[in-house]
Amino acid sequence: MVLTQKLHEAFKGTVERITAPRTVSAFKEKGVLSVSEFVIAGDNLVAKCPTWSWEAGEPSKRKSYLPADKQYLITRNVPCLRRAASVEEEYEAAGGEFLIDNDDNNGWLATHGRPKETNSAEEENLPSMETLEINKCRGIKPISSYLGGEEEEDIPDMADFEDTENLVETDPATLQPSYFVTHEPEDDNILRTRTYDVSITYDKYYQTPRVWLTGYDESRVPLKPELVLEDVSQDHAHKTVTIEDHPHLAGKHASVHPCRHGAVMKKIIDVLMSRGVEPEVDKYLFLFLKFMASVIPTIEYDYTMDFDLGSTSH
């Protein structure tokens, strides 16, 4: 990890230890969530999109300010059929901006990364993304470079065993589909689908949800976090997506850094309010996940919004 990032993490950790979690709602004013609002919004996400679940996580990593059985949210085995880099052109065509709302022809675009608008005093205290360097990962590596198999040891596979009685390969009632290949196939017609576990934690420092990505290759072996950057919009892969320790899961995972989340959520909320929609805090995660889809456009997680975003006041 880069030193500046480490220093920031240490600073953030200290601040998190000595500050009480937010209890007063500042959802409309700052786009942030209190702990109890995070739980309310999470409950609603789980109820409306049942592929999401609350998790208790490891007891040793539990945050006391969250309910023991509601430490973070996760949806598993989400397909990612193509690399985000392959949709890069579409993205560039949009000018590196993302569409927050185009329900009517009144679409609204927001810049991200380094917004030009005036910073409030609070925002100036936040580290800029420039200081949070991450490994450059320009070239797309072959899909076979995962956490598995760097050294080739000569372990015989089932076919080498004399007694083949237990072999699924020779069992007439077993069908091995072609996508079970564990090596780079030459035939490009084989569907090689990465999958993701997408988790959402509560970031006490930024007072917003935070998205984490755990990738798996087509044979369900965990991907190195660096390879996950191939599935992040390239505009973000070098800025807002960092590789850090997950607060509840083991190991390093790619994460969309939350330093701008509050500001962007505030803008989304402002737009809704200007259109006469009173946003409700339990819908926060639907808006948030729609916003995240601009960062990870090819990971097909569920954030269905087939209902009102809030109560329409007029």
Phi-psi region of 219 (alpha: psi -120 to 50; beta: other; left: phi over 0): alpha
- Residue 144 touching another protein (CB under 8 A): no
Q: Enumerate the H helices of 49-97 as residue ranges.
A: 88-93
Taking CB under 8 A as the criterion, the residue among 19, 102, 131, 193 binding another protein is: 193
Asked if 54 contacts 73 with a C-beta cutoff of 8 angstroms, the reply is: yes
Q: How far is CA 146 from CA 19, 155, 156, 207, in A?
A: 39, 19, 21, 33
Question: Could you tell me which stretch among 8-16, 72-80, 272-280, 288-296 binds another protein (CB under 8 A)?
Answer: 72-80
Among 7, 10, 68, 168, binds another protein (CB under 8 A): 168
> Phi/psi zone of residue 96: left (φ > 0), alpha (ψ -120 to 50 degrees), beta?
left
Can residue 148 be called a binding residue for another protein (CB under 8 A)?
yes
DSSP calls for 258-289: GGGHHHHHHHHHHHHHHTTEEE-GGGHHHHHH
Site membership for another protein, residue 49 (CB under 8 A): yes
259 noted as active-site residue: yes
Which of 21, 219, 273, 278 is in the footprint of another protein by CB under 8 A? Answer: 219
d(CA 291, CA 286) in angstroms, rounded, equals 9
Sites for another protein among residues 173-192 (CB under 8 A):
173-177, 180, 182, 191
Q: Does 24 bind another protein (CB under 8 A)?
A: no
Count CB neighbours of 192 within 10 A.
Answer: 15
Question: Can residue 76 be called a binding residue for another protein (CB under 8 A)?
Answer: yes
79 in contact with another protein (CB under 8 A): yes
Stretch that binds another protein, among 15-23, 113-121, 268-276, 296-304 (CB under 8 A): 296-304
Binding site for another protein (CB under 8 A): 1, 6, 49-51, 53-54, 58-59, 75-79, 81, 147-151, 153, 155-159, 161, 163, 165-169, 171-177, 180, 182, 191, 193, 195, 214, 216, 219-222, 224, 249-252, 300, 302, 304
